[in-house]
A and B are shown apart, each in its own frame.
Chain A
């Protein structure tokens, strides 16, 4: 049996300051299978980014086991990251390069030859709708283009595991939908995707399963449909959208989240 693409067992991560210790992640466990997208859903400070940074090996967990395709991130980080693509929350594009050369250079970090990296980069830029910006400096790109370029960069090594930390933050609806399509297609090709978001529609549309996170813990994890059914029932909800105006609508993940966390705002 082939190993699970992502396997997290009892992950803890504490941040120590002089005054106190902050438990950012408190004993979470989950797996992500091939052709599956698991969403980490939660407010800022829930521990999503810390979890993802532990998965990439950027942060050392306080305890717990993380394996990427069977390779321990702590013990064999090089092997674990060989098949990993990461689009981090913050913009980490290399502003010293043009759009195309950026991807080529990044490909070399995975051991790709420049010619091969260039071929892949051109194809990715075309897929992301950035081919006419190939020779632009990153600084000249709009926010949406930069985000798409970051996703393209995460795909340069054709990873079997993709980690996307709030990939669509700050994107306009059209670009967001295009990005969702790309992520969906990539999942269909067999990749395992771990996605963090605080957009309910994004989680509902992209994720096969959603883990609801709050204060470093996973409160519940299931398919969006099952989560809604379990916590809100099958019927529709009535909500007062403005004083005196009632609105009946189907329950969604936001309702689930608010119910599970007892009203914590996303």
Chain B
């Protein structure tokens, strides 16, 4: 590779990092808010289900392997946290930055291009989700929910999943005509996924027809892969392919629709409103 080609690749990366740093500076400026919103909700779920439900339900069987319910739900909540953190940061945060603050527009009038701004947005949302998930994974290793060595295996799954959920959040932001409209994907997609995708109970208890549908959903894939990596329930190639497939479709979709929206494209929901 020639020097000029290396340089051409580096410039966008520097631009993306520069904008990512803007998000980090804001986060640092509101550190208490950032820490509380990132880490408190998953801890509350963990305490409630880990110490509450695990006294009622001691073990569960996943893919023929019997594991403690505490470990089972711990990993499920890591997946749920990834979804919540990245989706909410991307959808609500993204909408506010695009529509009210006009951050994307103002930065894209500098040498940084709009596409680079949107990549930074996507990576920031991904970072928020990853930070929360990695903190929980470390906590799980400390409280002996799984062995510390297996924790490393979960990192790529966390990264891909966070990218996917950030993309979903940005698609939601791009298609929403008002900030209130973000409640639709939240109530009709995100919340049901956390309740039906095997976070709190194994999918083996679900009727086969419904199970097939649930297996195709992104959170099922994330939780399935995380349990395989952290609890040794086995690697699911189908889940890995499904997760990569979702990401391959939604990531470019998120970037292109959001770019169109920032440049003045009007989503159908506004025209018909």
Contacts and interface: CB of A to CB of B under 8 A. Distances in A.
Given A59-B263, A105-B25, A111 B102 contact: no
A148 to B, nearest CB: 16
Interface string A53-96: 00011111000000000000000011101101010101111111
A204 interface: no
Contact of B29 (A95, A96, A157): A96
Nearest to B114: A58
A111 B111 contact: yes
A12 interface: no
A94 B19 contact: no
B206 to A, nearest CB: 42
Interface in A192-227: none
Interface in B64-99: none
A88 B114 CA distance: 16
What is the interface residue range for chain A against chain B?
20 to 34
Interface in B107-123: 107-114
A180 interface: no
B21 A94 contact: no
A96 B109 contact: no
A165 to B, nearest CB: 11
A88 B113 contact: no
A109 B19 contact: yes
Nearest to A18: B271
A257 interface: no
Interface in A92-135: 92-97, 101, 105-106, 108-111
Given A59-B264, A78-B11, A109-B18, A94 B101 contact: yes
B111 A58 contact: no
Contacts of B102: 90-92
A94 B29 CA distance: 14
A88 B19 CA distance: 20
A157 B107 CA distance: 13
A234 B21 CA distance: 58
Contacts of A86: 109
B26 interface: yes
Nearest to A82: B111
Contact of A88 (B105, B112, B263): B105
B113 A84 contact: no
Contacts of B29: 96-97
B18 A108 contact: yes
Contacts of A92: 101-103, 105-106
B22 interface: yes
B106 A94 contact: yes
A95 B106 CA distance: 12
A84 B109 contact: yes
A105 to B, nearest CB: 6
Contacts of A157: 110
A60 B103 CA distance: 19
A110 B271 CA distance: 37
Contact of A109 (B11, B111, B114, B263): B111
| Highest count of chain B CB atoms <10 Å: which of A15, A58, A93, A157 | A58
A110 B110 contact: yes
Given A59-B263, A96-B29, A105 B22 contact: yes
B37 to A, nearest CB: 15
A95 B101 contact: yes
A81 B22 contact: no
Contacts of A105: 22, 25
Contacts of A91: 102
B110 A106 contact: yes
Contacts of A60: 263
Nearest to A60: B263
Given A79-B111, A93-B106, 4 more contacts: A57-B113, A58-B109, A92-B103, A95-B101
13 contacts: A57-B108, A58-B105, A58-B109, A59-B264, A81-B111, A91-B102, A92-B101, A92-B102, A94-B101, A95-B101, A108-B18, A108-B22, A157-B110
